[in-house]
Amino acid sequence: METNYIGRNRRYFDMVDSTNNYASLIAGKSGIPEGTLVWAGFQSAGRGQAGNRWESEAGKNLTFSLILYPHFLPPEMQFLLSEAVSLGITDFLTLYIPNPLIKWPNDIYAENRKIGGILIEHSVLGNQITHTVAGIGLNINQSTFGRDLSSAVSLRLLTGIEYETETCLNLLCTFLEKRYESLRQGMTARLESDYFSRLFGNHRWNRYRDASGTFEARPVQVETTGMLVLETRKGEIKHYGFKEVEHLDTDHS
């Protein structure tokens, strides 16, 4: 399956400091079409959400960034793009494993362990997103992880099969393009519904921690702005932005 534009133009590096860094340097320049993909066998300084490092064994996984020009999307609705990317990844994973989930805001989980992560960076001028760099890390063939990554997992560990990474990338691009096109066409209600249906910990009570301490709650909504809405055991409704609350549970039984 071929895409119309996502991943059609590619720049591959055996090693780069960060695909997001490189993609940000070239995004918006003449001759860089939408869907341009910056792909690396290894990132020496891969970045995760909120300044965290993304660690990945060289040549074993997918580490890449997409350049997008979502001029149609108001800046205050930019989290919808994160939802579309998250859903594209879980759509792809369902080809190989059952029930992959999204841990708010943008980690990808499989069998209660982290299999992927997303780092989306927008450039906004006035009331328009001029360009977006969507960085994606997805564990494909890595079979061992460091002590700090004991909760990580890969497709190979889950299925016992070794995969051809470029074949996986090509397939993943088709799913990402389909979800991005849904967003372009204004199918936001469907995206939000699908995102919530795949939300790690939805429809049950979970343990969370915020600035006031630990409490039990359940997700009731993720707003278009990206705010997580929780209902506590006491019936209180709380709204949280990124890094304002931590989900403590790892079990999704």
For residue 59, give the CATH number of its domain: 3.30.930.10
Task: Give yes or no: residues 153 and 219 share one domain.
Answer: no
Q: Do 191 and 214 reside in the same domain of the chain? A: no
Tell whether 61 and 185 lie within a shared domain: yes
d(CA 165, CA 156) in angstroms, rounded, equals 11
Residue 5 within any structural domain of the chain = no
Question: CA 189, CA 237: separation in Å to the nearest integer?
Answer: 22
Alpha-carbon distance 56 to 62, whole Å? 9
- The pLDDT score that the predictor gives to residue 250 is 60
For residue 171, report the phi and psi dihedrals to the nearest 5 degrees. -65, -45
Q: Give the pTM.
A: 0.93
Tell me whether residue 4 is in a domain: no
**What is the structure's pLDDT at 161?**
97
Domain's final residue, options 197, 222, 237: 197
What pairing do the DSSP bridges indicate for beta strands 128-138 and 206-210?
unpaired
Q: Do residue 192 and residue 216 come from a single domain?
A: no
User: Where residue 214 sits, what CATH number does that domain have?
Assistant: 2.30.30.100
Structure tokens at 200: 């790690």
C-alpha dist (Å) from residue 75 to 21, 146, 166, 182: 21, 37, 33, 17
Same-domain pairing of 21 and 43: yes
Residue 35 resides in a domain: yes
Please tell me the predicted confidence (pLDDT) of residue 50.
44
Q: What is the pLDDT of residue 58?
A: 77
Same domain, 65 and 187: yes
Domain that holds residue 220: 206-247
Q: Is residue 3 part of a domain?
A: no
Question: Does 129 reside within a domain?
Answer: yes
What's the pLDDT at 46?
Answer: 63
The arrangement of strands across the sheet holding 213-222 comes to: 237-240, 228-232, 213-222, 206-210, 246-247
pLDDT tens-digit series, residues 51-94: 455 566 778 999 999 999 999 999 999 999 999 999 999 999 99
Return the residue matching tokens 């369902």: 94
Shared domain for 102 and 132, answered yes or no, is yes
The answer as to whether 239 is a domain residue is yes
Do 210 and 193 share a structural domain?
Answer: no
The residue ranges of the chain whose pLDDT is under 50 are: 49-51, 252-253
Res 253: pLDDT:
39
> Structurally, how many domains does the chain consist of?
2
Pair 119, 69 in one domain: yes
Residue 40 lies in a domain: yes
Residues 183, 89 contacting (CB under 8 angstroms): no
C-alpha dist (Å) from residue 53 to 13, 56, 78, 222:
19, 10, 23, 26
Q: Does residue 150 share a domain with residue 41?
A: yes
Question: How high is the mean pLDDT of the chain?
Answer: 92
* pLDDT for residue 49: 46
pLDDT at residue number 52: 53
Q: Is residue 2 part of a domain?
A: no
- Which pLDDT value is given to residue 252? 44
Asked if 233 and 167 sit in the same domain, the reply is no
17 and 89 inside one domain? yes
